[in-house]
Structure 1
Amino acid sequence: MFNFFKKKSNGVEVDAAVDGKIMPITDVKDDVFSTKMLGDGYAIKPSDGHVYAPIGGTISTLFPTKHAIGITTEQGLEVLIHLGLDTVELKGAPFTVNIKKGDKVKRGDSLATMDIKMITDKGYDDSAIVVYTNMKLLKSVSTINSGQVTHGQKVQTIEFN
């Protein structure tokens, strides 16, 4: 009746950051991501260039080259949204960001756009990768089911220690 004895869930759902085809992070064609050197997460081969916050928090990192955005949640989890592989070499050209360091964002807020045609025309992989970089805070990360997703769709559950 009052749920006094109901165990409190420590799980948080994470949304798709872009529209496209989702895959496990282990399928990314870059060893830094596929071996989970930076942490666990997922990747999406985008169908358009709009990038949204997969989780709420504060923008804690914004690379000058605009290819990577970090969000720190209230629980202290650091979530990195990495746009493309080796796209740092493009010096920010294909990216437009709508946020700045220190901004508070809610799940689903627009963060950036990326010109996926420019990225792929220059020979780069345009995958958007979401990585939980301080894994010591997490007890578990759910597996990813490959397939089409749209931004805002729940795609992964993470559980805190």
Structure 2
Amino acid sequence: MFGKLKNLFSQPGITIASPVSGTVVPLAEVPDPTFAQGILGPGAAVQPSEGRIVAPANGTVDMMFDTGHAVSMTTSEGAELLIHVGIDTVSLKGQHYTAKCKSGDTVRKGDTLIEFDIDAIRKAGYEVVTPVIVCNPDAFASVKTEDAGSVQAGDDLLTLEKK
């Protein structure tokens, strides 16, 4: 009985995992004003330590960009996410990126979405910091970011509180 009563009053959040291993960076520190100012939505960023993006939750791929540098998805709980690998990396026209999924694919948390060559991207003069943006924040009461520090792909990155 107590468990049922507790569930009535607690609104568990929706957890969004880190799509990549690395170091969590506050969105405000991303060297691109569109991300840093939250114009596309709230979220966090990760400075990757490996070149593999995985699904941060179960859901559907809405759009895999032709260049492979970004992917948008809707989680099974309704969060619309954008994962953007690097800053201004669309200019690479797909060089150093390999898409591992396509628009319309159903994915499970941990499925590989994109592989990329960190060293080659940096050598070409681009940042690889990877913003993870919640594009429909109005659907949630709040978007909370885990503390900065080291993170593994699959670790909690964001918590979305249901309205």
Asked whether the two chains share a fold, i.e. TM above 0.5, the reply is yes
Q: Which runs of 5+ in 2 are unaligned?
A: none
Q: 1:132-151 to 2 correspondence within 5 Å? A: 132-151=134-153
SS, match of residue 11 in structure 2 = coil
Answer yes or no: is 1:79 the counterpart of 2:84: no
TM-score of the superposed pair, with normalisation by structure 2: 0.93
Structure 2 counterpart of 1:111: 113
Identity among equivalent positions (%) equals 39
Amino acid in structure 2 at the alignment position of 1:151: A
Amino acid in structure 2 at the alignment position of 1:11: G
Deviations 1:116-139 (A, max 9, x none): 111100110001111001111111
Amino acid in structure 1 at the alignment position of 2:127: D
Amino acid in structure 1 at the alignment position of 2:42: D
Q: How many residues align?
A: 161
- Deviation at residue 22 of structure 1 after TM alignment: 0.7
Looking at structure 1, the residues matched to 2 and 81 of structure 2 have their Cα atoms a distance apart, in angstroms, of 34
Amino acid in structure 2 at the alignment position of 1:148: S
- Residues 145 and 157, structure 2, Cα contact 8 Å, conserved in 1: no
Amino acid in structure 2 at the alignment position of 1:5: L
Looking at structure 1, the residues matched to 2 and 148 of structure 2 have their Cα atoms a distance apart, in angstroms, of 39
Looking at structure 1, the residues matched to 104 and 85 of structure 2 have their Cα atoms a distance apart, in angstroms, of 20
Deviations 1:84-131 (A, max 9, x none): 000000000111111111111111111111111111001100011110
- Residues 23 and 144, structure 1, Cα contact 8 Å, conserved in 2: no
SS, match of residue 26 in structure 1 = helix
TM-score of the superposed pair, with normalisation by structure 1: 0.94
SS, match of residue 84 in structure 1 = coil
Q: Which runs of 5+ in 1 are unaligned?
A: none
Amino acid in structure 1 at the alignment position of 2:76: E
Deviations 1:22-52 (A, max 9, x none): 1111111110001000001111111110111
Cα RMSD between the aligned structures? 1.3
Runs of 4+ aligned structure 1 residues displaced above 6 Å come to none
Looking at structure 2, the residues matched to 30 and 87 of structure 1 have their Cα atoms a distance apart, in angstroms, of 12
Structure 2 counterpart of 1:4: 4
Looking at structure 1, the residues matched to 110 and 11 of structure 2 have their Cα atoms a distance apart, in angstroms, of 22
Amino acid in structure 2 at the alignment position of 1:96: T
Amino acid in structure 1 at the alignment position of 2:39: M
Answer yes or no: is 1:23 the counterpart of 2:25: yes
